[in-house]
């Protein structure tokens, strides 16, 4: 999903900078705030994303762990995917 880049790091209603514990959390907090502002969900492998740094964020707005596709309703799409098919001329490597 693509969202308009309209969240400001300087706006306390989007991000509470004092709740960030280091520079590595800035991008995660920004992406979470962007997802919250547009009714999306931020999916990440990082387990240290500071939910409290985004005032309107709730647990449903953040998913940690394996990458899954989520519908607008927040339900995981766990339908099986067909195996990758080899591309002609690519040898035995699937794409």
Residue 76 confidence (pLDDT): 54
Residue 30 confidence (pLDDT): 92
Low-confidence ranges of the chain (pLDDT < 70): 65-95
CA distance 35 to 17: 17
Residue 72 confidence (pLDDT): 55
Residue 84 confidence (pLDDT): 54
Residue 46 confidence (pLDDT): 82
Residue 53 confidence (pLDDT): 92
Mark residue 91 as left, alpha or beta (left: phi above 0; alpha: psi -120 to 50; beta: remaining).
left
């Amino acid at each position: 999903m693509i969202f308009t880049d309209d969240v400001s790091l300087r706006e306390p209603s989007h991000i509470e900078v004092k709740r960030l514990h280091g520079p590595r959390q800035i991008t995660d907090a920004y992406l979470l705030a962007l997802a919250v502002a547009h009714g999306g969900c931020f999916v990440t492998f990082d387990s240290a994303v500071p939910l409290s740094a985004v005032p309107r964020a709730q647990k449903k707005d953040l998913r940690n762990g394996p990458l899954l596709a989520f519908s607008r309703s927040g339900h995981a799409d766990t339908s099986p995917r067909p195996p990758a098919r080899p591309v002609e001329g690519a040898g035995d490597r699937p794409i």
